Structures are given as structure tokens and as C-alpha cells.
Structure 1
């Protein structure tokens, strides 16, 4: 099984060393998690599904990249795995830039150490590909981390400013009424309203001073319930098969999740709808579900014209709607995708995209299987 973002199902395409890397994936990731907890203070108390983040997909992408002739030069090429990792670290953790860089450096040496301990000998080209993949991922993750922090800070300040206007306006109005009143009872009432408004403003400002994580992102109101995501996927595939014919392939296993079923259903319908609208009509749409390290990864893959790299992030309108997304020859790309991102982020997860000529387009939603502890994390994008 591969968790690579191009949804590669044919392990025979990979080199023997790459296949051996996949066999050692869990050993390497568990060792990495232990080393990160020991070395990165901000990671000490993170739940494992949040700590592991997008690293399973990045790791498998690297395994592809070291395969001679495979159409992926580095693990971060033509996908948003690293940038999503940086965004999640900004939203869900107390990480700083140094923390983000450190965990990639730890991944590098964990891969080398565990492979060597298991008798896997890497040649110079494979070592170069691994290093290039991690170096490129660091750059993308750090950039996304900084942008996400800025976006959250701006959202927080905008929300705070908006919220402060109401008690300030109420206090001003009460003060103006006092100016024009000689009734001591009414004056006392207005004065009480001024005090109440000022107390409310003081509480808001105190929250600002005390808040280190800027919990101001707009988010969905979740109604979490336990269900089997495989059954939901079968239901949706049945609906799309009825409407569009037998081109939908589901590769899934039973996985119990605590998610908002209706929100996830709508998100999956958006992803399949986009795959039908923009994918080549004579090719299958493949849906894949993989439980891994306390998370569940849902991918939807279609063949067809790729998404231009410069439009990938703007599809989700995280920071701003890119002009290319509005004016490009694929007008309509991204319809529903901001909602899908909102669903993923509101569950403590993220959405990634991998798109290129040689392997089609894959959208990958990764969320903790149990989203209950993460209902109140900030998000970057509303509905």
C-alpha cells in the first residue's frame, strides 16, 4: 500500500529500494515521532495524529522520487503536502519556524539511520533525491507557516476590531443620553450600561493579551457522530454511479470515525463533482480511504488536464483568491473547494492537491479519525 499523493497503486513501478522504504514506513515514522518529542519542546504533548500530520504522504512521495525514471523528481514536486504541513502547524500547535525546520531535519536522519539499520544501502542519487525532497519541503512548509500565522493574526485583529465596535458604540450612546437627561434614575441606568460595555471591552482586550494561538478563524459548527467512512463512501459512489455511469472505483476498508457526517458527505460530493467536471470523461474516478497513525486519508483521483502549479493554493482561497483562478481557462476550478478545506480544517485536518500531466489530479483530505479533541482549533477559511 502506498500513501503517495499521486495515488499510485502499482508498487511494481517502484524500485526495490523504494519498495523496501515503504515496508519500513511505520518503523521510520514511529521512530521519527519519538525523536521529535525528545528534541522539539512544542511537540512533547501533541496527540500522535496531529504530530504525524502529512508526513506519511511525504514519505511515500520520497520513495517514488528515488525510483529511477519515476515521474516525480522530489517528494514535494507537484503537490502541496509540505505547505499544508506548515499551515497545520500554525493552526494546531505552538510551533515556531525553528520547530518546523527541526522536524524535517529529524526526518532526514531518521530515514538514513533506520534504512542503514535494516541493511538498506542507498546510492548517491537516492541520497540526493531524499535530501532534495526534504530541503524543498522545508522551504514550502516554512513559507506556508509564516503565511498562515499572518492570516490568523489578521483574521484575529479583524474579528477583535469588529467585536469591540459594539460595546464601544453602546458606551458612547449611553454617554450621549446622559448628556441630555436630568432623570437621576435614567442617568444611573445609562451609567450602568457604560460600565457593562467597558467591562466587556476590557475582557476582550484581556483575551487578546492572553491569547497566544489566535483562535479567531471562522469555522464550521460540527455535529460529530461515530460512523463508518467506508459505508458513507459506498453511498456516495452509488449516487454518482447512478448519475454518471460506472466509472467510480472505491478502494476502502472499514474505518470508524468521529466526524460530522453531513459535512464530510458534502465535501466528498464536491470532490467527486469536480473530478467528473474536470477529469477526462473516458477515464475512471478513483476514491481511496486509508486509516494510518490515528488519521484517515481520503483521496479522490481523476485523469485529465492538470491544475497549473501557480493556481494550486488559490484553489482553496486560504489567504486570497488568486486572479489566475478567476481568469484562467479553467473558470470554475475551486467551486466547493473552500468548503472542503473548511470541513478538513474544522476537524483538525487539511486538504492537499497533487496534479501533473503524467499522473492526473488527486485531492487528499487527511483528518484525525477522532475529531472530538480538535473541534475548537482555528481555521484559515470559512464556508
Structure 2
């Protein structure tokens, strides 16, 4: 068994190259990923298998060892990664492991170290890894659907409440200008609710690597964000400032998605900032891009958590980091929307200057029309 283990470790690079070549031929979705992303946790799974073959003759001893726990973790992470990779399916993940088994077996046979005992151990460990990855993949997709639906459902409450308020306070004795103002407010809020309901229906059918659907059109970004500012000023007790030197900024954007993104950041600024502290909303204009910033004063986000905070699936279904536990999927959607606009989201947070989220957007990155966003995976 030790010799077989050494063969696998010595030939690990060639094994992964052979596996990758076959996977790219037989699994179309694999061609979307870079070589490093495609391999993901499988080199670690290979190392775990080699160690298991080296250490154990009996399956009854296998589950007591940390190496067995390691292969469970690595195959679990592999499944979660595939859930954020576009066009992957459960069948394709299982096929990846079938190909992996084939390449490992061929390597052992070629080096004349394949025995019944080695084959049984290899089969058992790979079946365990396969089952773990498949379960993780399915659970991750379900988790994404639930979080997307939950986030959208939560966001629908505000415009419905605003519409209800507008209709409730209209009085027949009010002057015409007030009635028209409340009517406009109610219709605008109901229109926003309908847009969110459409997104809610899209979330039910989300597949691997997919987020929400965006609808791009030529709009004035300043008008959209100013509306968020006015609404937030009415909802929250905090003083909210809005800064923008431009009267209008025209570009190809999804106005509904960007309003939701900024609303999310303002809500977080209220939730995690110092009580009743000032919140600043800013728009900075450049030739080809625009930056939206939301700033608050309060407890800073730990430096070690700042990159992880945008990666919903990286954190697992139950985050071990208590600082991140309350952020849900909101910031993952913020990142997805920014990327879909050809931009990115950045975070600066320290005790002296407070916390600033910046959303950088390209003005004309997209053509008008609908686009499904992607949930990107960043290896830890």
C-alpha cells in the first residue's frame, strides 16, 4: 500500500494534467474555468487519497483518522466551488470523479502497483468524496436560492409599505398638489415592487453560478440614487447626506438593481454604524465610469474579514466568523451587480475614518437588455 501511495504522490502533477485534459473534452462547463479554478480542491483530494492508501488496510479504521476528515472537507469545498461555476450540473460533478477514478487507476496499473486492496480503498475514498461533493453542490444551490428569495422578499417590504402609506394618508379634502404627490409616490413604490417580484420569480430557477437577472437601459443614475437618499432620509433616524456635483449622469445601468444595492449599503451603515451617526452617500463622476460611495462611522470591519465579507458561499452555510454572520447575502449581490456593470466593489474600514463601501461602475459596459449575473468564487 505504501508503494502505491508513493506512486500517486510522485505522479500527482501528471495525474492532474491527464484529468484536466479529459474533463475539458467531456465536460463543456469545465472550459469556462481557469486551469487553477478547474482543479480547485482535487489536488488536495489526491493527496488525501494517497495518505489513506498508505495508512490503512481496513475500512473500519478509516473514519477515525484526520485524513478521512480532510478528504470530506476538500470534497465539500469542491462541490461549493462548482455551485458558483456557470453551467455546472450535478451530473457533471459526478463525471469529474468518474474520470478522476479512471486516471488514478490507470496510473497505478501502469506502475504495476494496483492490487485488489488498493483498488477497494481507492473506490471507497472516491465514492465518499463524490457523495460529499454532490451533496455540497446541491445544498449550495438550494442555499443560494433561499438566500436570493429571502433577500428579494425582504426588499419588497419597503416599497409596499411606502405605497400603503401614500394611499392611506390621501384625504379627499387634500389639495390637488398633495394628492398628486402622494399618488406619484404610491405608483413609484408599486412599480418598484413589481420589478422585485420579477426578480423573485427569476431566483426560483437559479442554476450553478447564477445570481439575479438585471435589466439594462439608458438612465440618469443621479436620479435613481437621489430617490434612495430621499426614501432613506424618511425611514431612518440617522442624518443622511447626499453629495454629487453633477445634475445628471447618463449611462447604461440597471436602475432597480443599483437602488437595491445602495439601499442595502445604507441599511448596513445604519445597522452596524454608531447610533444616530451621520451617513454619507456620494457619487463621483469620471469619463467612462462612476463611483457610488456609502460611508458611516462606527466599529470597523476587521481587516482579515474584509475580503471574505463579499463571498457568501466561501463562508459556508454557518459562518464561523461571528462578525460576518449577520451580513447574509446582501453584499454578495452588491458585488455581483458591480461586476455585471463591468466594475467592482471595494471596502475601506478603520477606527479613525470609519467604513466606506465604493461601487465602481462602467457607464457603457452593457447594451440595453436583460443579463443574468454571476456569483463569483474566490478561493481562500
Task: Please give the TM-score of this superposition, normalised by the length of structure 1.
Answer: 0.52
Q: Check whether the contact 1:73–1:129 (CA below 8 A) recurs between aligned residues.
A: no
Q: Please give the alpha-carbon distance, in whole angstroms, between the structure 2 residues aligned to 1:49 and 1:19.
A: 24
Q: Does 1:190 align with 2:182?
A: yes
Q: Please give the alpha-carbon distance, in whole angstroms, between the structure 2 residues aligned to 1:172 and 1:68.
A: 67
From 292, 304, 327, give the equivalent of 1:263: 304
From 161, 167, 180, give the equivalent of 1:175: 167
| Cα deviation, residue 157, structure 1 | 1.6
Q: Does 1:164 align with 2:133?
A: no
Q: Please give the alpha-carbon distance, in whole angstroms, between the structure 2 residues aligned to 1:182 and 1:28.
A: 78
Q: Does 1:78 align with 2:65?
A: no
From 99, 106, 122, give the equivalent of 1:106: 99
The total of aligned residue pairs comes to: 234
Helix, strand or coil for the counterpart of 1:67?
Answer: helix
From 45, 49, 53, give the equivalent of 2:36: 49
Map residues 247-258 of structure 1 onto 2, 5 A cutoff. none
| Correspondence for 1:377 | 375
Distance 1:17 1:261, change over 3 A: farther
Q: Check whether the contact 1:21–1:115 (CA below 8 A) recurs between aligned residues.
A: yes
| Correspondence for 1:235 | none
From 21, 26, 42, give the equivalent of 2:8: 21
Q: Deviations over 1:122-143 (max 9, x none)?
A: 1111111111111111111222
Q: Check whether the contact 2:41–2:78 (CA below 8 A) recurs between aligned residues.
A: yes
Q: Which fold has the larger relative contact order, with Cα–Cα distance below 8 Å and residues 6 or more apart in sequence?
A: 1
Q: Please give the alpha-carbon distance, in whole angstroms, between the structure 1 residues aligned to 2:78 and 2:32.
A: 18
Q: Deviations over 1:324-354 (max 9, x none)?
A: xxxxxxxxxx576977xx9xx989xxxxxxx
Q: Please give the alpha-carbon distance, in whole angstroms, between the structure 2 residues aligned to 1:27 and 1:175.
A: 69
Q: Deviations over 1:45-88 (max 9, x none)?
A: 12223221210110011111221558973897223222222222
Q: Please give the alpha-carbon distance, in whole angstroms, between the structure 1 residues aligned to 2:147 and 2:376.
A: 10
| Correspondence for 2:191 | 199
Q: Check whether the contact 2:79–2:135 (CA below 8 A) recurs between aligned residues.
A: yes
Q: Please give the alpha-carbon distance, in whole angstroms, between the structure 1 residues aligned to 2:324 and 2:156.
A: 28
Q: Deviations over 1:164-184 (max 9, x none)?
A: 001111111112233455322
Q: Please give the alpha-carbon distance, in whole angstroms, between the structure 2 residues aligned to 1:338 and 1:129.
A: 39
Larger radius of gyration: 2
Distance 1:377 1:194, change over 3 A: same
From 24, 36, 43, give the equivalent of 1:37: 24
Q: Which runs of 5+ in 1 are unaligned?
A: 1-13, 222-259, 268-315, 322-333, 348-374
Q: Please give the alpha-carbon distance, in whole angstroms, between the structure 1 residues aligned to 2:77 and 2:116.
A: 29
Q: Which runs of 5+ in 2 are unaligned?
A: 213-260, 266-300, 309-313, 336-372
